[in-house]
Structure 1
Amino acid sequence: MDKRSFLKTMGLAAAAITISPSAATAATSSAESQGKQVLKATALKKGDTLGIITPSSALADEEAIQKTKEVFETLGFKVKEAQNIRARYGDLAGTDDQRIADIHAMFSDPEVKGIVCIRGGTGASRLLDRLDYNLIANNPKVLLGYSDVTALLLAFYTKAGLIGFHGAVGTSTWTNKLAAAFGEQFFDNKLQQYQNPTDKGDNLIMYDNRIQTLHEGVVEGRLIGGNLTLIAGLCGSDFLPDFKDAILFVEEVEEGIERVDRMFCQLKNAGILSRIKGFIFGHCTDCKPSGGYGSLSLQNVLTDYIKPLGIPAYSGARIGHISNQFILPVGARVRMDAQKGTIQLLEQALV
């Protein structure tokens, strides 16, 4: 995944858009500092139609579409393809106009009850200043994706108040465990508790799925986050929410540790780290030290930027470019226990 090129080209200017007061399924709470209602999509049921879109990088082959359809048909849905999912513009899944048109079409289509991104990659941030956030606010629907889709999840929450879901895309490996988690979230609308597996197997101690507590404590707040590169790249734009009293979660993939350090420095200098109440680091998949004279470690970076905050914080959560990742509602209120490594929903993420 090459995220560097999009950081150089994405547009960061956009006018603030007022949410229609008639927007349906509004929660009783609000995105406090944004002055907007928090919007919740309707829970899904078997037989519903899901739309599949490619808002970021182009697909390599037809098999990605076929596998995505098979997954969600197996879960009991009808699947509707966006018009431009096979399009290509350079490394992107079509021009900006084509990808915007697909997003707008899915939100305006009354038949479509939820939207799943087939993959991430790069390019979603190019769309943010031209999306119709009134349309999205007036038609709140489930949106599921991660990695580059972080840009959409954060913008939709900031501009429309919509709670979206950071989790597996269509081309992820859909295990039975992941399918069960999907059902609990989107069919049952459970007050989920997210925690790494605790089974030690035949071992005396836990070797896999370990967490590391950076600072003990229990804290409540709105859960906001996603891919670190995307969050850092949106600093200074109108598409990041106010992180005051939020619980921030981040993950990363295929980045040198010196770049991870630079992005944490950006979050610090932008005033984000000083505003949050809690912090969760997922996985930094294939993030390797680089540099001819040695390198900081990821532990060094977390120690330098997170521990001095003195807020509840832990790393190792099953968030990121890994199998069986958590499906997290971006914008929902949660309670986080940094010693136990748990994230507990305090409100249902759907209606």
Structure 2
Amino acid sequence: MLINRRQFLTSLGLSILAVQMPTLTAQSKLSPNTIIKPPRLRIGDTVGLIAPAGIVDDEDIAAAQRSVSGLGLKVKLGAHILDRYGYLAGKDVDRAEDLNAMFSDRAVNAIIAMRGGWGCNRILPLLDYTSIRSHPKILMGYSDITSLLLAINARSRLITFHGPVATSTWNQLTTDYLQRILFNGEAVTMQNLNIGDVQVELIAPGKARGKLVGGNLSVLSAMVGSPYLPSWNKSILFVEEISEDVYRVDRMLTQLKNAGILNQIAGFIFGQCTNCASGDEPNFTLMQVLQEHIIPLGIPAWYGSMIGHIKDKFTVPVGAEVEINANAGTIQMLDAAVNS
């Protein structure tokens, strides 16, 4: 009887282990270097709104709720979204806690930052990157949110999205790209409509493939030397900027060059440099500065993609594989950036 009892317990234990095995095996096979896609959005999903940088008010929140609700989504507000601490939307620990809480909250399907400004770099050491990787979901924003997009892609290996913040102008073109990429899971080709002043200017011809990384140039250059940047090897770097004199753009690109970043990339896209002045004479034009930095690299590059502080903007997947065509000014996603 003792032998039979042992056999029964052994058999029972093996049966339980067999039930658990798919989950354990799946987790053990997931390399720390594996890029994770967040689940796609669906009508009725809940979006968490947070203020990780600059201050927001009740009017901002009301406008954001209208925009998000217009997409058929529900809204959950961060606990500290209306906090104020100097020019920041609350203390660092509280802004970080709102982001960590949204990722761990199973009722939240995506996270959108209310606005940029300044402050995201300050909370990078306070984020729980392990928990974020364990609870993958869409994170979107631009400008100062570049810090979060790059750090979470680098440390949690999660695809993030350089796109509208909650207080952006959610017009037809912007929402069209957002819906196709985040809801439909399409691998889209992004190409300018050449409307108004948004025109493509070739820097160097050619095509290239690689991982798409980047964001706001001043935020990115301020992150150089930190442990929160992804690998640049054979990547496609995109940048955008607002209200910076040309000499400052030159200074920031020089920082990327001296840090060994530019000589690693396979392609370069400068989106929009909105309200960027030439400054006092004598001076260089922005294109002259871009040509001096980029042409010697021998990589395809262009200026003018619809990325940045403009009304009509692409939703750009940070960490996704793409093919660019500088002659046509196109960014072709090679795969969906979200899971079905």
Q: TM-score, normalised by structure 1?
A: 0.87
Q: Distance in 2 between matches of 1:116 and 1:298?
A: 32
Q: Which runs of 5+ in 2 are unaligned?
A: 1-22
- Of 246, 268, 275, the residue aligned with 2:257 is 268
**What is the Cα deviation at residue 226 of structure 1?**
0.2
2:271 partner letter: G
Q: Distance in 2 between matches of 1:320 and 1:140?
A: 25
Is 2:161 aligned against 1:161? no
Is 2:65 aligned against 1:69? yes
- Of 48, 51, 54, the residue aligned with 1:54 is 51
Q: Distance in 1 between matches of 2:210 and 2:102?
A: 31
Q: TM-score, normalised by structure 2?
A: 0.90
1:306 partner letter: I
* CA 1:117–1:25: 2 relative to 1, 3 Å: farther
1:333 partner letter: E
Q: Higher helix proportion, which one? A: 2
Q: Is contact 1:27–1:37 with CA below 8 Å preserved after alignment?
A: no
**What is the Cα deviation at residue 317 of structure 1?**
0.4
Matched residue, 2:276: 287
Q: Distance in 2 between matches of 1:99 and 1:27?
A: 33
Matched residue, 1:6: none
**What is the Cα deviation at residue 290 of structure 1?**
2.3
**What is the Cα deviation at residue 210 of structure 1?**
1.8
Q: Is contact 1:23–1:139 with CA below 8 Å preserved after alignment?
A: no
Number of positions where the alignment pairs a residue of Structure 1 with one of Structure 2: 317
Q: Is contact 1:53–1:115 with CA below 8 Å preserved after alignment?
A: yes
CA RMSD, Structure 1 to Structure 2 (Å): 2.0
- Which residues in structure 2 correspond to 1:209-224 (within 5 Å)? 209-224=198-213
Percent of residue pairs identical: 44
Q: Which is further off, 210-219 or 244-253? A: 210-219
**What is the Cα deviation at residue 209 of structure 1?**
3.0
Please identify runs of 4+ aligned residues in structure 1 that moved more than 3 A: 21-28
Q: Is contact 2:93–2:126 with CA below 8 Å preserved after alignment?
A: no
- Which residues in structure 2 correspond to 1:295-306 (within 5 Å)? 295-306=283-294
Q: Which has the larger radius of gyration?
A: 2
CA deviation map 1:267-321 (0-9, x unaligned): 0000000000000001111111224x43222112101101111101111100100
Q: Is contact 2:190–2:332 with CA below 8 Å preserved after alignment?
A: yes
**What is the Cα deviation at residue 176 of structure 1?**
2.1
Matched residue, 2:323: 335
Q: Is contact 1:25–1:40 with CA below 8 Å preserved after alignment?
A: no
- Of 98, 104, 110, the residue aligned with 1:108 is 104
CA deviation map 1:25-44 (0-9, x unaligned): 9999x8xxxx6110110001
Q: Distance in 1 between matches of 2:91 and 2:115?
A: 16
- Of 230, 244, 248, the residue aligned with 2:233 is 244
3-state SS of the aligned residue for 1:181?
A: helix
**What is the Cα deviation at residue 177 of structure 1?**
2.3
Q: Which runs of 5+ in 1 are unaligned?
A: 1-20, 200-206
